[in-house]
Structure 1
Amino acid sequence: MAKDTFLNRKLTLNCKGRLVDLSQPQVMAIINLTPDSFYGSSRVNVKDELLLKVENFIKEGAAFIDLGAYSSRPGALNISSQEETDRLLPAVEEINKQFPNALISIDTFRADVAEKAINAGAHIINDIAAGNLDDQMFATVAKLGVPYIMMHMKGTPQNMQQDPVYNNLTEEVLSYFLEKVDVLKKQGVKDMIIDPGFGFAKTLEHNYELLKNMEALSVLELPILVGVSRKSMICKLLNIKPEEALNGTSVLNTVALLKGANILRVHDVKEAVECVRLIEYCK
Structure 2
Amino acid sequence: MSLRQYEYALAVAEEGSVTAAAERLRVAQPSVSQQIRGLERDLGVRLFARTPAGLVPTAVGRAFLREAQVAVSASRRARATARAGADELVGELTVAVQMGFGTRQLPNALGTLRRRFPRLEVTVFEEPSSAELDRLCRRGVLDLALMAACERSPADAHHLGDEELVVVLCAGHPQLAADRVELRALEGEPWVRFDRDSALDGVLKNVLRDNALTPVTAARVSQTATAVRWAAHGLGVTLVPASVVPDAHRHLARPVSPVVTHPVIAVVRRDAGPAETALLGLLREETWSESASAAVRRDRLRAG
What is the TM-score with the length of structure 2 in the denominator? 0.25
Q: Which structure shows the higher strand fraction?
A: 2
Which TM-score applies when normalising by structure 1? 0.26
The structure with more radius of gyration:
2
